[in-house]
Amino acid sequence: MLVLFSFPCLGMGQNVVSGKIIDELGLPIYFASVEINDTNEATYTDFDGNFSIESDKDFHWKLNISSKGYKTESYFVLSGGSAGEIVLQYDEELRKLLEGQ
């Protein structure tokens, strides 16, 4: 009986959110930093722009997302699961380079 009551405790305490970081053209952004605001939890996107991050902190997270050449974005996650696709905008320096100026 003690074993049956311990199983729910094993699944509690870790909340996971995953998503994909893309640019304005829909291309994945590799090695973008994804951090949970006011915590030490951080991860980076893989080659396809995907990330997964977990924390003891309950949901209603503020994710801070940054990558060189893009504007830093904040994204709110109100419940667990998938954040879907998050689009980062080019910063001024990269935008000028892409426009050939």
4 confidence band (pLDDT: 50, 70, 90): very low
* pLDDT greater than 50 at residue 74: yes
Domain boundaries, the chain: 14-79+89-99
Backbone angles phi, psi at 27, to 5 degrees: -85, 140
Q: What is the CATH number of domain 14-79+89-99?
A: 2.60.40.1120
Q: Give me the pLDDT at residue 66, please.
A: 97
Predicted model pTM: 0.81
Tokens of 19: 């998503």
Q: What is the pLDDT of residues 79-90, one digit of tens each?
A: 777 899 999 999
Using alpha carbons, select from 15, 34, 23 the residue that is nearest to residue 81: 15
Rounded CA gap, 57 and 61, in Å?
Answer: 8
Burial degree of 36 (CB within 10 A; 0-12, 13-18, 19+): buried
CA 98, distance to chain mean position in Å, is: 26
Q: What is the pLDDT of residues 5-56, one digit of tens each?
A: 444 555 556 789 999 999 999 999 999 999 999 899 999 999 999 999 998 8
